[in-house]
Amino acid sequence: MKPFLINRIIKGIVLIFLMVFILQSCVGARTAYQIDDYYIAPNGVEILATKPLNAFIFENNLTNLPFEQFLSLKYKLNNTFSRDFWITVDKSKYKLIIYDNAEFDKYFGYSSFAAVNQENIANIVGGQPKFIAISMVNEFNEDCLSDKSMLQNVSTIYLKNLKDEYINIK
């Protein structure tokens, strides 16, 4: 009687594992969002104990020079690796915050986005990320990309023009 009972217990455990495996395999893969032009994503980095900032995200042109180098040349920055710096737009000061690879993955997740443009490894300049995220605050540390901000339109247009300038350089 004992071997029969042990045999049934083992079959039951195997059946449970098989059912769990089948149910796991039936769960569909999470679809990734493709960015055609740009995307404003919530839940970015927090600065000075503020709410998480929104970020302007766009797909990188991996054949161009790195985005940080482009910004360094455009704004005449002393450091190519600057991740945040002040700019002036229409006589108002704004701080651009550029996300590095680790921050992008931490706050937005690479698996949430799918690249539209694929490049051969030989064409990629440097170890560039597939997506670039930028947050923007004014001199009072207010999120300029927030839906509640009166500066959202100005900052979005500015960042879109910056993106277009970078994407289209030759």
- Answer whether residue 14 is part of any domain: no
Q: For the segment 27-85, what is each residue's pLDDT rounded down to a tens digit?
A: 655 567 788 899 999 999 998 767 899 999 999 988 888 898 899 999 988 887 778 99
What integer pLDDT is reported at residue 113 of this predicted model? 85
List alpha helices for 1-151, DSSP H.
Answer: 2-26, 67-75, 101-107
- What confidence score (pLDDT) does residue 119 get? 63
pLDDT of residue 123: 56
Residue 64 belongs to domain spanning:
30-167
State the pTM of this model. Answer: 0.78
**Quick check: is 16 in a domain?**
no
Number of domains in the chain: 1
46: in domain = yes
Give residue for tokens 């694929």. Answer: 118
Mean pLDDT of the chain: 86
- Distance CA(94)–CA(142), nearest Å, equals 10
**pLDDT in the model for residue 153:** 94
Q: Is residue 49 part of a domain?
A: yes
Above 70 in pLDDT, residue 139? Answer: yes
Whether residue 72 is contained in a domain is answered as yes
Tell me, yes or no, whether 93 lies in a domain. yes
